[in-house]
């Protein structure tokens, strides 16, 4: 009977041992699985973020492609409307150029010019240039009544353009006094607050000396009066400084994150540093854009006709006010195409283009636009150079403010921040945030970061220690209970020895497994610590490289100031041509 009790007790103890062993193994397996799940969760999260970015990029590209397609479709529609509604204007412009050339060669008959002029009058009942051509034909044919009537009609349609056109034509034909009368009439009628786009041709005429010394002096005197008048209003001057500030913004460089990847990854100050370097890089771009202009020497053609023909061609080929709404719409859609469907970039580019397509500007804006957007106003490189010279004070002021602002944005203290997100190991055991300043010597920073890793790792590694105290409670209690029962039967003593021995072996095995896991975690954390130190050293080296790059880019600010100073004296109008007559003895038919 006692033997049966002993055997039953041994069976129960063995069963209990197996249960405890399975539980311990299960707990250990769960710990391993939890750690593996944490790693896989991080990997899945990284992949999900990458997939999200890829999808967002795809959506962005698709949206921009659709924007480009819609813009191209609208461009075709707008161009069709321009051709159908204003196609005759283009014919008139071409005829005007041909008629002026016909005056010189004399190979076009008067009847042909008469027929063409009258036909264009009928086809373009609102266009100012058509009656001007009729008046020119009558002037050449010595028909003063028709000439006066035609010019009167043209003057009603567009007094500014008609006056300027006649001043240029008469100057071209050597009628100096008559040209000056038209020019004076043109200038007197102008409001410096609301100048038409054709006024850019006046600046063109000055830069080319097309009106001769007397004409240049007359125009320059009026421009000086306007400038003095407008600059009394500080808001208008500030508007021009802001306009030049916008020009500087166009020269801002791109991000340098690829050049300084470690610094970009761990420094909270990187966005300010990146912006400061990109803005300092604008100096080099400005020098490339304007240094050549400052050193250019404009050589005018030998004949006044060549100058005036170019200016007249630009004047007659300019957009009429009626066309501007469609031209603006065309510019809006073209900007979308030019910027690859990026609507924000297109709107930014339109700030310049649409300003040039406005109906009127004040004189100061005409100057700035001639300097910054000559293509939209149809002025030459020489005129652009002269306009930049006139605007040099605004350019210089905007540049000084621009430089002050980006220098003020350079962080005084560049810091490194390491937290649980910068390595996978740090994320698993939640590395507390560490911050260090690159103003501190690197060896001291490394020691501090290494100590931070060790302090943070201790609790994590301690979690792998085998809990002897907690695990011994149950086996000690069971063994002690069996030992107490030995007073009643010696079989319990044997059972206590067996249970205690087996349980000791199980616990020792589990402690060795825990120690192995602790060692693996320690090596992983040590590797992560070394990776952090490498990142810190790399970022420190990049701080030095960034400082060198910024200093080199920023030093070019003095070169830009020198270029602006050179531009201040680079725009003096070219020497005027001597007046001439196309035919000796031809009467001066000015009809003014």
**pLDDT number for residue 10:** 58
| Residue that is written with structure tokens 């404009």 in the block | 298
* SS3 call for 436: strand
Q: How far apart are the first and last CA of the chain?
A: 147
In this structure, are residues 315 and 165 in contact, taking their beta carbons and an 8 Å threshold? yes
For 209, phi and psi rounded to 5 degrees? 65, 30
Q: Does 328 reside within a domain?
A: yes
| Candidate from 33-37, 93-97, 149-153, 290-294 with smallest mean pLDDT | 33-37
Number of domains in the chain: 2
| Candidate from 249-258, 486-495, 526-535, 570-579 with smallest mean pLDDT | 570-579
> Would you say residue 100 has pLDDT above 90?
no
Rg (CA), the chain: 43
Distance CA 170, CA 186 (A): 14
List of long-range contacts for 227-236, beta carbons under 8 Å, 24+ apart:
227/363, 227/364, 229/192, 230/192, 230/193, 230/362, 230/363, 230/364, 231/364, 236/362, 236/364
Handedness of CA 266, 267, 272, 277 (dihedral sign): negative
Position 589 confidence tier, pLDDT thresholds 50, 70, 90: very low
Max mean pLDDT range (110-114, 236-240, 492-496): 236-240
How many CA atoms does the CB half-sphere of 542 hold within 13 Å?
A: 24
| Residue that is written with structure tokens 């008629």 in the block | 99
Are residues 162 and 229 located together in one domain of the fold? yes
Are residues 395 and 428 located together in one domain of the fold? no
User: pLDDT averaged over the chain?
Assistant: 77
**pLDDT number for residue 554:** 95
The CA–CA distances, whole Å, from 74 to 70, 342, 355, 571 equal 6, 16, 21, 41
Distance CA 131, CA 4 (A): 133
Are residues 383 and 428 located together in one domain of the fold? no
Query: Residues in the chain, how many?
Result: 592
Q: Does 555 reside within a domain?
A: yes
**pLDDT number for residue 446:** 82
- Please return the burial class of 52, using the count of CB atoms within 10 Å of its CB with bins 0-12, 13-18 and 19+: exposed
Average pLDDT in the 578-590 region?
35
Are residues 455 and 391 located together in one domain of the fold? no
**pLDDT, tens digit, for every residue of 527-553?**
777 777 888 888 889 999 999 999 999
**pLDDT number for residue 461:** 61
Position 476 confidence tier, pLDDT thresholds 50, 70, 90: low
Dump the DSSP string for 115-153: HHHHHHHHH-TT-THHHHHHHHHHHHTT-HHHHHHHHHH
> Would you say residue 480 has pLDDT above 70?
no
**pLDDT number for residue 592:** 45
**pLDDT number for residue 533:** 81
**pLDDT, tens digit, for every residue of 184-222?**
888 888 899 988 777 888 888 888 777 888 888 898 899
Distance CA 209, CA 571 (A): 12
List of long-range contacts for 214-218, beta carbons under 8 Å, 24+ apart:
214/176, 214/180, 215/167, 215/171, 215/179, 215/180, 215/183, 215/576, 216/573, 216/576, 218/180, 218/183, 218/184, 218/187
**pLDDT number for residue 588:** 39
Higher local confidence (pLDDT), 332 or 485: 332
**pLDDT number for residue 54:** 82
Dump the DSSP string for 504-540: HHHHHHHHHHHHHHHHHHHHHHHHHHHHHHHHHHHHH
| Candidate from 30-39, 73-82, 179-188, 296-305 with smallest mean pLDDT | 30-39
> Would you say residue 419 has pLDDT above 70?
yes
Domain containing 196 equals 158-409
In this structure, are residues 171 and 212 in contact, taking their beta carbons and an 8 Å threshold? yes
**pLDDT, tens digit, for every residue of 345-375?**
777 766 655 555 556 788 998 889 888 888 7
The CA–CA distances, whole Å, from 245 to 64, 130, 221, 251, 453 equal 29, 41, 29, 10, 48
Are residues 405 and 419 located together in one domain of the fold? no
Q: Does 75 reside within a domain?
A: no
Are residues 393 and 435 located together in one domain of the fold? no
Q: Does 202 reside within a domain?
A: yes
**pLDDT number for residue 278:** 95
**pLDDT, tens digit, for every residue of 429-458?**
667 777 888 888 888 888 887 787 777 766
**pLDDT number for residue 248:** 94
**pLDDT number for residue 118:** 82
**pLDDT number for residue 215:** 86
**pLDDT number for residue 173:** 78
User: Of 409, 429, 447, at which residue does a domain stop?
Assistant: 409
**pLDDT number for residue 462:** 64
Higher local confidence (pLDDT), 23 or 161: 161
**pLDDT number for residue 402:** 96
Are residues 263 and 368 located together in one domain of the fold? yes
Other C-beta atoms lying within 10 Å of the C-beta of residue 395: 29
Are residues 401 and 459 located together in one domain of the fold? no
Are residues 254 and 398 located together in one domain of the fold? yes
> In sequence order, what are the residues at sequence separation of 6 or more whose Cβ sits closer than 8 angstroms to the Cβ of residue 553?
277, 280, 281, 283, 284
Are residues 443 and 402 located together in one domain of the fold? no
Average pLDDT in the 65-80 region?
86
Q: Does 77 reside within a domain?
A: no
Are residues 424 and 404 located together in one domain of the fold? no
219: tokens are 């125009």
**pLDDT number for residue 401:** 96
For 237, phi and psi rounded to 5 degrees? -65, -40
pTM of the model: 0.67
For 361, phi and psi rounded to 5 degrees? -140, 160
Q: Does 118 reside within a domain?
A: no
**pLDDT number for residue 578:** 37
Position 418 confidence tier, pLDDT thresholds 50, 70, 90: confident
| Residue that is written with structure tokens 């970039």 in the block | 345
Q: Does 443 reside within a domain?
A: yes
Strand runs labelled E in 307-396 = 360-361
> Would you say residue 277 has pLDDT above 90?
yes
User: Of 394, 409, 424, at which residue does a domain stop?
Assistant: 409
Are residues 370 and 497 located together in one domain of the fold? no
User: Of 374, 409, 444, at which residue does a domain stop?
Assistant: 409
**pLDDT number for residue 244:** 94
In this structure, are residues 540 and 438 in contact, taking their beta carbons and an 8 Å threshold? yes
**pLDDT number for residue 584:** 33
Percent with pLDDT over 90 in the chain: 18
Q: Does 528 reside within a domain?
A: yes
> Would you say residue 581 has pLDDT above 60?
no
């Amino acid at each position: 009977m006692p033997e049966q009790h002993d055997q039953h007790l041994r069976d129960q103890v063995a069963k209990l041992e197996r249960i405890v062993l399975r539980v311990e193994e299960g707990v250990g397996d769960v710990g391993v699985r939890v750690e593996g799940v944490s790693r896989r969760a991080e990997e899945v999260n990284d992949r999900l973020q990458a997939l999200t970015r890829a999808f967002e990029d795809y959506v962005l590209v698709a949206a921009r492609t659709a924007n480009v397609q819609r813009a191209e479709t609208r461009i075709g529609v707008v161009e069709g409307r321009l051709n159908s509604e204003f196609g005759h204007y283009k014919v008139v412009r071409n005829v005007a150029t041909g008629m002026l050339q016909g005056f010189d060669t004399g190979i076009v008959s008067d009847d042909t010019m008469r027929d063409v002029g009258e036909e264009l009058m009928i086809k373009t009942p609102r266009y100012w240039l058509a009656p001007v051509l009729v008046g020119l034909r009558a002037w050449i044919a010595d028909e003063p009544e028709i000439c006066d009537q035609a010019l009167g009609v043209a003057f009603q349609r567009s007094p500014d353009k008609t006056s300027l056109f006649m001043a240029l034509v008469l100057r071209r034909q050597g009628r100096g006094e008559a040209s000056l009368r038209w020019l004076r009439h043109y200038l007197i009628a102008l409001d410096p607050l609301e100048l038409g786009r054709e006024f850019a041709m006046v600046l063109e005429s000055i830069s080319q000396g097309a009106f001769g010394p007397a004409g240049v002096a007359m125009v320059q005197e009026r421009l000086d009066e306007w400038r003095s008048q407008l600059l009394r209003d500080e808001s208008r001057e500030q508007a021009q400084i802001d306009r030049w500030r916008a020009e500087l913004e166009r020269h801002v460089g791109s991000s340098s994150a690829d050049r300084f990847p470690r610094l970009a990854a761990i420094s909270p100050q990187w966005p300010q540093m990146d912006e400061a370097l990109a803005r300092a890089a604008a100096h080099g771009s400005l020098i490339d854009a304007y240094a050549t202009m400052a050193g250019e020497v404009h050589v005018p053609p030998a004949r006044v006709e060549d100058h005036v023909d170019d200016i007249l061609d630009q004047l007659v080929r300019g957009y009429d006010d009626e066309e501007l709404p469609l031209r603006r719409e065309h510019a809006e859609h073209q900007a979308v195409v030019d910027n690859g469907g990026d609507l924000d970039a297109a709107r930014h580019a339109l700030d310049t283009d649409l300003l040039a397509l406005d109906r009127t500007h004040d004189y100061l804006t005409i100057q700035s636009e001639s300097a910054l957007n000559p293509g939209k106003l149809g002025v030459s490189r020489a005129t652009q150079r002269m306009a930049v010279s006139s605007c040099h004070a605004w350019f210089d002021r905007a540049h000084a403010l621009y430089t002050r602002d980006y220098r003020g944005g350079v962080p005084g203290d560049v810091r490194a921040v390491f937290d649980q997100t910068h390595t996978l190991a740090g994320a698993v055991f939640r590395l507390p945030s560490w911050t260090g300043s690159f103003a501190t010597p690197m060896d001291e920073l490394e020691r501090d970061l290494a100590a931070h890793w060790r302090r943070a790792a201790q609790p994590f590694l301690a979690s792998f220690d085998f809990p002897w105290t907690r695990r011994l409670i149950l086996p000690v209690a069971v063994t002690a209970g069996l030992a107490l029962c030995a007073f009643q039967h010696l079989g319990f003593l044997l059972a206590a020895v067996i249970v205690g021995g087996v349980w000791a072996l199980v616990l020792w095995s589990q402690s060795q497994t825990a120690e192995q896991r602790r060692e693996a975690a320690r090596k992983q954390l040590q590797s992560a610590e070394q990776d952090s130190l490498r990142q810190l050293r790399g970022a420190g080296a990049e701080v030095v490289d960034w400082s060198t790059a910024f200093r080199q880019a920023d030093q070019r600010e003095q070169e830009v100031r020198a270029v602006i100073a050179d531009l201040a004296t680079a725009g003096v109008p070219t020497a005027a041509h001597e007046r001439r007559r196309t035919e000796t003895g031809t009467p001066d038919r000015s009809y003014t």
